[in-house]
Amino acid sequence: METNFKKTSVKDEARIELHDTLGLSGAEVSINVLPQGASVPFVHSHKQNEEIYGILEGKGTAVIDGESVALSAGDWLRIAPAAKRRFFAAQNSSIKYICIQVKENSLQSYTASDATIE
């Protein structure tokens, strides 16, 4: 039977990417956990995709184009594709965050402008 939705459950993994698990076709979503004092082991940027980060738990720092940005639970951050970025957990706290990756300037409609009310 074909359905119009797919559900998954995310456990306590250090990193999970949902594009394959959920069959995403317009975005990449990952859930990431860095233990206290740890960091993403590389600096990166993108060719086309902006990233939206939501801090779910803990605290840490993002270094974006050489600028340090303090992060804590409840913070949201949008980063342009070309920006060079790296993430760090605080020395005394782990950090758990969601990263949503979408093609920059691709949003044509949203919420009410994209809804069909029945």
* pLDDT (tens digit per residue) in 6-58: 998 888 788 889 998 899 999 999 999 999 999 999 999 999 999 999 999 99
Residue 11: count of CB within 10 angstroms of its CB: 6
Q: What is the torsional sign of CA 47, 111, 26, 40?
A: positive
How high is the pLDDT of residue 116?
A: 85
Domains and CATH numbers, the chain: 27-104 (2.60.120.10)
Residue 1 predicted with pLDDT over 60: no
3-state secondary structure of 22: helix
Task: Please indicate whether residue 73 or residue 13 has the higher confidence score (pLDDT).
Answer: 73
Q: Could you tell me the two tokens for 9?
A: 């459950």
Q: Report d(CA 30, CA 70) in Å as an integer.
A: 21
pTM of the model: 0.89
DSSP, res 81: T
